Amino acid sequence: MKHRSTNLLTILILLGLFAGAMVGEFGLHVEGAMIDGDHWMKTVGDLVLIRPLKLLIVPLIFFSVISGITRIGDPAKLGLVGGATLVYYLATMFMAVTLGTVLVTWISPGVLDPAVQATLQETGGSFAAVETATRELSSAWMNIVHQIIPENILLDMVEVRPLGIIVFAIAFGLALAAGGEKTKAARDICNATFEGLMILVRWVIWLTPIGVFFLVAWTVGQIGFDSIVGPLGWYMATVLFGLAIHGFIVLPLVLWFIAGVHPFRFMWQMKRALMTAIGTDSSSATLPVTIDAAETEGECSKRAANFVLPLGATINMDGTALYEAVAVVFLFQLFGIELEFSTLIVVVITATLAAIGAAGIPSAGLVTMVIVISAVNMNLSGSENGPLPIAAIGIIIGVDRILDMCRTAVNVWGDAVGARIITKLAPDD
């Protein structure tokens, strides 16, 4: 019965994606104009799906991590799980950003006819307001360290800063595990609360087809299918090509070599989470679905699903890292600024760090991109090249939404692969 209901939900989500794309293109999209960002279809999608899922994020992260930690039990096994998880996340993000940098340098979508370049540069200039973000975000990657040790856990919960919540939950879970019989009641309460939250998640999941329909319709209505032609089309193709290589080749090979798991069978098992990621554009909002799919269909251990996935939704952003590398190099190409090999290394390192600090929300990559551009501009200081105006980000804003849908799916897929690998390395007792 569960298998049948899962198949039904999958079909409904697919229908929602297709119907939303058709309504957006033929019912909402007007060539040469963008529909209102507060359009009623986006509002309905937010109310039906995004807000209910976001409502569950903080309690789910908190109790899932505690549950995962208390289930690990043995401190040595915790060290194995935590260490392997961090190594996997950093390694796959580094591979993703390196792949993106190589592809954009090879394809060179921003090396265009001067007249075309001038047109796109004028488009970017209309978004001058983006320039103000530099002072606020140029050192944002350094705040990662500060997020690890929150001053007020309740404030972090209110403002949905997941990294601080995760660190506190890990520490609290270790304390409960170390307490033995004295803290057994608290461990039971946390585990029972988590199970109750997962039941609530499964109820909310049935709203996914409706929410996906409205959100996809609004997205396609904003950009239209005609955005895939011309210079921006080449840029989009480069990003999508990189995401496809990473999602369908790199991560499957990692999963197969380390865990011996058939990657595409596992991908099919995680289909609900991947399709939800496409519809919501948010790895954090997708987290409840990801945990449920990993446990019920993906054959992931509870310890892996409850610990690895919340951490991944916070710091593991393979798709975002790859996208930022491609986007930044594309913009520098577009403005005729040549980047040397040493500068490309700066792009790789900074994009990886920026992706770690990126929020699991729609278009968070645009925000952290400022960090990468600022770092490259600093590296170019004193040379005849550069700097690139931060306002140039405006050139790609119009097509970002569709790329965000795809890179979010890769982010979630990377988290799921990590959970399956940890299941192999440290299975439930």
| Domains in the chain: ranges and CATH | 2-425 (1.10.3860.10)
> What pLDDT score was predicted for residue 264?
94
Rounded Cα distance between 426 and 408, Å, is 27
Q: What is the token pair recorded at 426?
A: 């440290």
Q: With pLDDT > 90 as the criterion, what percentage of the chain qualifies?
A: 17
Q: What is the token pair recorded at 55?
A: 């409502």
Whether 49 has a pLDDT exceeding 80, the answer reads no
Interval 4-48: pLDDT, tens? 565 677 678 778 878 887 887 787 766 545 555 567 787 888 888
- Closest C-alpha to 329, from 350, 312, 306, 309: 350
Give the other-Cβ count within 10 Å of 249's Cβ: 12
Q: What is the token pair recorded at 174?
A: 């270790």
- Closest C-alpha to 223, from 15, 29, 427: 29
* Phi, psi for residue 279 in degrees, rounded to 5: -75, -35
Q: What is the token pair recorded at 338?
A: 């040549």
Average pLDDT over residues 394-409: 78
DSSP 237-289: HHHHHHHHHIIIIIHHHHHHHHH---HHHHHHHTHHHHHHHHHH--HHHHHHH
Residue type, 45: G
State the DSSP H helix or E strand holding residue 260, giving kind and residue range, or none if neither. Answer: none
* 3-class DSSP string for 153-181: HHHHHHCCCHHHHHHHHHHHHHHHHHCHH
Give the other-Cβ count within 10 Å of 229's Cβ: 10
Interval 352-394: pLDDT, tens? 777 775 655 555 666 667 777 777 777 666 555 567 776 677 6
Interval 110-145: pLDDT, tens? 776 665 555 555 544 444 333 433 333 344 445 556
User: Three-state SS for 381?
Assistant: coil
Interval 169-186: pLDDT, tens? 878 888 888 788 888 899
* Of the ranges 61-70, 96-105, 167-176, 390-399, the best mean pLDDT one: 96-105
Read off the DSSP letter of residue 130: G
Per the confidence metrics, is the pTM higher than 0.85? no
Q: What is the token pair recorded at 271?
A: 């289909």
> What pLDDT score was predicted for residue 75?
58
Interval 232-259: pLDDT, tens? 788 889 999 999 999 999 999 999 999 9
Per the model's pLDDT, the better-predicted residue between 219 and 208 turns out to be 208
Rounded Cα distance between 335 and 120, Å, is 9
Average pLDDT over residues 95-122: 76
> What pLDDT score was predicted for residue 401?
73
The average confidence (pLDDT) of the chain is: 77
Rounded Cα distance between 423 and 300, Å, is 6
> What pLDDT score was predicted for residue 167?
79
* Distance in Å from the first CA to the final CA of the chain: 28
> Can you tell me which residue has the tokens 């865990």?
259
- Closest C-alpha to 335, from 390, 287, 397, 382: 390
